[in-house]
Amino acid sequence: MAAVDTAKLSMLLDDPEVRVIVYGLGHVYPSQPTETGPQRVRAALQRLTETSDPVQVESWLSDEAVNSAITVEQIHAAFGDKVIGDLALFTNCEPDDVAWQLTAVLPDLVDAFSPGGVIVDAAELRAEFLGATGAGDRSAGPFAPHID
Protein backbone atom coordinates (compact mmCIF):
# COMPACT_ATOMS: atom_id res chain seq x y z
CA MET A 1 0.00 0.00 0.00
CA ALA A 2 1.28 3.49 -0.85
CA ALA A 3 1.94 5.99 1.89
CA VAL A 4 -0.11 9.06 2.69
CA ASP A 5 1.26 12.07 0.80
CA THR A 6 2.77 13.74 3.87
CA ALA A 7 4.48 16.40 1.76
CA LYS A 8 1.16 17.46 0.23
CA LEU A 9 -0.53 17.36 3.63
CA SER A 10 2.23 19.46 5.21
CA MET A 11 1.93 21.98 2.41
CA LEU A 12 -1.84 22.16 2.84
CA LEU A 13 -1.62 22.58 6.62
CA ASP A 14 1.07 25.23 6.21
CA ASP A 15 -1.73 27.59 5.19
CA PRO A 16 -3.47 28.93 8.33
CA GLU A 17 -6.82 29.24 6.52
CA VAL A 18 -6.66 25.60 5.43
CA ARG A 19 -5.79 24.49 8.97
CA VAL A 20 -8.80 26.32 10.36
CA ILE A 21 -11.14 24.82 7.75
CA VAL A 22 -9.85 21.28 8.33
CA TYR A 23 -9.80 21.71 12.11
CA GLY A 24 -13.34 23.12 11.89
CA LEU A 25 -14.57 20.08 9.96
CA GLY A 26 -13.17 17.95 12.75
CA HIS A 27 -15.36 19.86 15.19
CA VAL A 28 -18.60 20.65 13.37
CA TYR A 29 -19.14 17.73 11.00
CA PRO A 30 -22.11 15.72 12.31
CA SER A 31 -21.14 12.55 14.13
CA GLN A 32 -21.72 10.41 17.15
CA PRO A 33 -20.69 12.03 20.47
CA THR A 34 -17.79 9.60 20.89
CA GLU A 35 -16.25 10.28 17.47
CA THR A 36 -12.99 12.20 17.36
CA GLY A 37 -11.91 15.00 15.04
CA PRO A 38 -10.09 12.64 12.66
CA GLN A 39 -13.18 10.41 12.46
CA ARG A 40 -15.27 13.46 11.57
CA VAL A 41 -12.80 14.67 8.94
CA ARG A 42 -12.70 11.18 7.44
CA ALA A 43 -16.51 11.07 7.40
CA ALA A 44 -16.59 14.45 5.63
CA LEU A 45 -14.11 13.22 3.00
CA GLN A 46 -16.14 10.03 2.54
CA ARG A 47 -19.33 12.06 2.13
CA LEU A 48 -17.67 14.22 -0.50
CA THR A 49 -16.52 11.19 -2.47
CA GLU A 50 -19.99 9.61 -2.25
CA THR A 51 -21.79 12.70 -3.57
CA SER A 52 -19.35 13.93 -6.22
CA ASP A 53 -19.04 13.01 -9.86
CA PRO A 54 -17.23 9.65 -10.19
CA VAL A 55 -14.72 11.10 -12.68
CA GLN A 56 -13.78 13.81 -10.18
CA VAL A 57 -13.49 11.31 -7.35
CA GLU A 58 -11.31 9.06 -9.48
CA SER A 59 -8.90 11.96 -10.05
CA TRP A 60 -8.69 12.65 -6.29
CA LEU A 61 -8.12 9.02 -5.40
CA SER A 62 -5.55 8.48 -8.15
CA ASP A 63 -1.89 8.68 -7.24
CA GLU A 64 -1.07 9.95 -10.75
CA ALA A 65 -3.96 12.11 -12.03
CA VAL A 66 -4.31 15.85 -11.57
CA ASN A 67 -7.14 16.58 -9.13
CA SER A 68 -10.36 17.74 -10.77
CA ALA A 69 -11.91 20.89 -9.41
CA ILE A 70 -15.14 20.90 -7.44
CA THR A 71 -17.83 23.58 -7.43
CA VAL A 72 -19.47 25.48 -4.59
CA GLU A 73 -22.75 23.85 -5.62
CA GLN A 74 -21.19 20.41 -5.11
CA ILE A 75 -19.95 21.46 -1.66
CA HIS A 76 -23.48 22.53 -0.74
CA ALA A 77 -24.90 19.27 -2.08
CA ALA A 78 -22.39 17.20 -0.11
CA PHE A 79 -22.54 19.02 3.22
CA GLY A 80 -25.70 21.11 3.29
CA ASP A 81 -26.28 24.58 4.63
CA LYS A 82 -26.14 23.57 8.30
CA VAL A 83 -22.61 22.13 8.15
CA ILE A 84 -21.39 25.04 6.04
CA GLY A 85 -23.10 27.50 8.41
CA ASP A 86 -21.62 25.80 11.47
CA LEU A 87 -18.20 25.83 9.85
CA ALA A 88 -18.63 29.51 9.02
CA LEU A 89 -19.40 30.26 12.68
CA PHE A 90 -16.41 28.20 13.78
CA THR A 91 -14.05 29.98 11.36
CA ASN A 92 -15.61 33.42 11.77
CA CYS A 93 -16.20 33.63 8.02
CA GLU A 94 -19.19 33.99 5.76
CA PRO A 95 -20.80 30.72 4.58
CA ASP A 96 -20.08 31.57 0.92
CA ASP A 97 -16.40 32.09 1.76
CA VAL A 98 -16.27 28.77 3.62
CA ALA A 99 -17.86 26.92 0.70
CA TRP A 100 -15.33 28.47 -1.66
CA GLN A 101 -12.44 27.53 0.66
CA LEU A 102 -13.71 23.95 0.79
CA THR A 103 -13.64 23.79 -3.03
CA ALA A 104 -10.00 24.82 -2.94
CA VAL A 105 -8.79 22.38 -0.29
CA LEU A 106 -10.93 19.23 -0.22
CA PRO A 107 -9.81 17.61 -3.51
CA ASP A 108 -6.18 17.91 -2.38
CA LEU A 109 -7.05 16.66 1.09
CA VAL A 110 -8.79 13.59 -0.34
CA ASP A 111 -5.77 13.06 -2.58
CA ALA A 112 -3.31 13.32 0.31
CA PHE A 113 -5.28 10.83 2.41
CA SER A 114 -5.98 8.21 -0.25
CA PRO A 115 -2.83 6.28 -1.06
CA GLY A 116 -3.63 3.51 -3.48
CA GLY A 117 -7.11 4.92 -4.06
CA VAL A 118 -8.56 4.34 -0.56
CA ILE A 119 -9.08 6.96 2.14
CA VAL A 120 -7.07 5.93 5.19
CA ASP A 121 -8.77 5.03 8.47
CA ALA A 122 -9.23 7.62 11.23
CA ALA A 123 -6.27 6.41 13.32
CA GLU A 124 -3.88 6.77 10.40
CA LEU A 125 -5.46 10.08 9.45
CA ARG A 126 -4.77 11.40 12.97
CA ALA A 127 -1.19 10.09 12.94
CA GLU A 128 -0.55 11.69 9.56
CA PHE A 129 -1.95 15.05 10.73
CA LEU A 130 0.38 14.95 13.70
CA GLY A 131 3.32 13.89 11.54
CA ALA A 132 2.64 16.56 8.93
CA THR A 133 2.37 19.29 11.53
CA GLY A 134 5.54 18.21 13.29
CA ALA A 135 7.83 17.38 10.36
CA GLY A 136 9.49 20.64 9.43
CA ASP A 137 6.19 22.43 8.98
CA ARG A 138 6.68 26.15 9.43
CA SER A 139 3.33 27.19 10.84
CA ALA A 140 0.99 24.26 11.44
CA GLY A 141 2.36 23.41 14.87
CA PRO A 142 -0.56 24.85 16.83
CA PHE A 143 -2.94 22.69 14.82
CA ALA A 144 -1.53 19.40 16.05
CA PRO A 145 -2.67 19.56 19.69
CA HIS A 146 -6.23 20.23 18.59
CA ILE A 147 -6.83 17.35 16.19
CA ASP A 148 -8.18 15.00 18.88
pLDDT, tens digit (0-9, with 9 covering 90-100), for 71-81: 999 999 999 99
Is 82 within the bounds of a domain? yes
Whether residue 142 has pLDDT greater than 80? no
Q: What is the pLDDT of residues 32-81, one digit of tens each?
A: 778 888 889 999 999 999 999 999 999 999 988 899 999 999 999 999 99
| pLDDT at site 147 | 45
Three-class DSSP labels, 41-104: HHHHHHHHHHHCCHHHHHHHHCCCCCCCCCCHHHHHHHHHHHHHHHHHHHHCCCHHHHHHHHHH
Model pLDDT, residue 55: 95
How big is the chain, counted in residues? 148
Give a yes or no: residue 120 inside a domain.
yes
Is residue 102 in a domain? yes
**146 located within any domain:** no
pLDDT digits (tens, 9 = 90+) for 105-126: 999 999 988 888 888 888 888 8
Residue 115 lies in a domain: yes
Stated pTM of the model: 0.83
Is residue 111 within 8 A of residue 49, CB to CB? The reply is no
- Whether 119 maps to a domain, the answer reads yes
- Residue 81 within any structural domain of the chain: yes
147 lies in a domain? no
pLDDT tens sequence across 123-141: 888 887 777 666 544 444 4
In this prediction, residue 134 carries a pLDDT of 62
- The rounded distance, in Å, linking the Cα atoms of 61 and 138 is 27
CATH of the domain at 55: 1.10.10.690
The range of the structural domain enclosing residue 129 comes to 6-141
Q: How many domains does the chain have?
A: 1
